Amino acid sequence: MMNNELQTLIEKTSDEVFGKPFLHIARYNSRLRTTGGRYMLADHSIEINPLVLKVHGMKELVGVIKHELCHYHLHIEGRGYKHRDADFRKLLKETSSPRFCLPLTSSKQKSLSFYIYKCTSCELEYQRRRRMDIKKYRCGRCAGSIKELPISQ
């Protein structure tokens, strides 16, 4: 979907759901990482993360658009447009708009690799997420020298 198709979709959604026109610019912004979209106060434009459509489909995209249009119309009218405002929450309910966007990235934690070090004297093992300079540090138990063990996967 291109920016002009997004513009048309937002204008159509604004007319059908809110009964008011959307008179400003709508565009995709692929630099958005943690949010589905945002309403720009300065120029009244709406930016949408293209991952919303790619990951979750058209239904979620329309939900994000309705959410951003709530900000837009309330701000234009001079009413409470922020997430914590009663006007905003009321309009979200009236238009069946989502309060939050579904996550755009997988929430699975990456498998963390550890560096394993071993004391040459007492053979105490150390597990570290960050690499350490073995010339700089000694064993905390016996003050022996430390060697790095190969990472096994």
Cα R_g (the chain), whole angstroms = 26
CA 42 centroid distance within chain: 22
Q: Which residues are catalytic?
A: 68
Starting at the edge strand found earlier in the chain, the sheet holding 46-48 runs 26-28, 46-48, 37-39
Core vs surface per residue 63-101: b (16+ CB within 10 A) or e = bbbbbbbbbbbbbeeeebbeeeeeebeebbeebebeeeb
What size, in residues, is the chain?
153
